[in-house]
Amino acid sequence: MIPIKGYATFDPLKHCWIGSGFKIDWFKDLDIYKNDKIMDPLKKIAEETEEDYQALEKILQDAGVKTHRIFLDFEKYGSLKKVRRPPVCPRDDFAVIGEKIYGCGKQSKYKEMFDQIDPKNVDINSNQVPINTAQICRVGKDIWWDIWPAWTNQDLLPRYIKGFEDLGFRVHLSYRGYHSDGAFCVVKPGCIVSLEEVQNYTDEFPGWDVLYLPDQSWSKVSTFIDIKHKVGGRWWLKGEEHNDQLINFVNTWLNDWVGYVEETVFDVNMLSIDQNTIICNNYNKEVFDHFKKHKVEPIVFNFRHRYFWDGGIHCITQDLYREGTQEDYFG
């Protein structure tokens, strides 16, 4: 069985779930299967996404992390119309907090993974209480939980807050309305990288060194601006900005596959292997200087189709087991 434990996002990572994409033959029964304008870009996404997952898997395994993956069996889901988004970003659906993995809703496509986890370590609610580590940041005894009121069953929320408090956690709520792992990253005790103003952390992270990244905006990417109105700001595939056949197909058939990439800045979406090693999406001099100051070694990993999937390094993984305890980092 896969062990489950997680108290801090920077504790030594030992077991990690990595996402998976799709196979191009999922579309073989559709008329568009012979349409190169649509199929060639989709084939590129499928092949390069899997190549990148395998490259990430090797990085983690070389660091001593045991990796776990599942693959969606398309035949079980019938026609394309019934297929939900592939398990690209397990982070968006689950959270390991303490010694349990939490989640929300029916998760039949993840059954293969949960068959390997002891049921006593699983808490999946069928109602709208989004518990995932895209919205929850764990720092030992403290949990920062971003709540989306429109998506959250407010009647059930107090039950989970009390449940976490009964386990010894201090729960801090925020209301950004988007994934917090696209807003800030707690790299290690005393070190944060953030898109938000430094003063936001004065009270809750007193004395911590926060690198604020201003002007990390999509407005600088002219090719995305060209396509933004066609895709509603939800996805981007470089080089296909004028491929209206692909755009119409994705918007119509794969609407559930894409996110809202316009809201995402991948410079803060990172995965810590431990307090001294972190995987990031790209080189950023300010960020790397901050790492050097805090003796953190970055590993650059380019997830090439993050702009299509709206998923960075943190999104496409789910830490299942980290060493560490419910340490109090704030006294």
Q: How confident is the model at residue 14 (pLDDT cuts 50, 70, 90)?
A: very high
Q: Across all residues in the chain, what is the average pLDDT?
A: 89
Q: Give the pLDDT confidence score for residue 105 in this predicted structure.
A: 64
Predicted local distance difference test score (pLDDT) of residue 117: 95
For the segment 74-84, the average pLDDT, to the nearest whole number, is 55
Q: 26-35, 98-107, 135-144, 253-262: which has the highest mean pLDDT?
A: 135-144
Minimum mean pLDDT among 15-29, 89-103, 188-202, 214-228: which range? 214-228
What is the Cα–Cα distance from 267 to 284, expressed in whole angstroms? 8
For 57-190, strand residue ranges (E) read 66-68, 94-97, 100-104, 122-125, 136-139, 142-146, 170-174, 184-188
Task: Tell me what pLDDT residue 261 has.
Answer: 83
Contact assessment for residue 24 and residue 39, using Cβ atoms and an 8 Å cutoff: yes
For residue 271, give the H/E element and its range: strand 271-274
Nearby residues of 288 by Cβ (< 8 Å), 6 or more positions away: 298
Q: What is the pTM of this model?
A: 0.93
Mean pLDDT for the stretch of residues 183-190: 95
Share above pLDDT 90 across residues of the chain, in percent, rounded to a whole number? 60
What is the predicted pLDDT for the residue at 186? Answer: 97
- 166-202: string of b/e by CB count within 10 Å (b at 16+)? eeebeeeeeeeeebbbbbbbbbbbebbbbbbeeeebe
Give the per-residue pLDDT at 78: 47
Question: Six-digit token pair at 136?
Answer: 């929850």
* Cα 145 from chain centroid (whole Å): 15
Tokens linked to 88? 């690209």
Name the E strands within 27-110. Answer: 66-68, 94-97, 100-104
The more confident residue out of 105 and 143 is 143
Local structure of residue 98 (DSSP, 8 states): B
Closest CA to 268 of 203, 191, 175, 170: 191
pLDDT in tens, 230-286: 998 899 998 999 999 999 999 988 988 998 887 777 889 999 999 999 999 989 999
Q: Compute, in degrees rounded to 10, the torsion defined by CA atoms 221, 227, 228, 231.
A: -140
Per-residue pLDDT, averaged over 50-67, amounts to 98
- pLDDT (average), residues 82-95: 82
Average pLDDT over residues 298-307: 95
Domains with residue ranges and CATH for the chain: 13-322 (3.75.10.10)
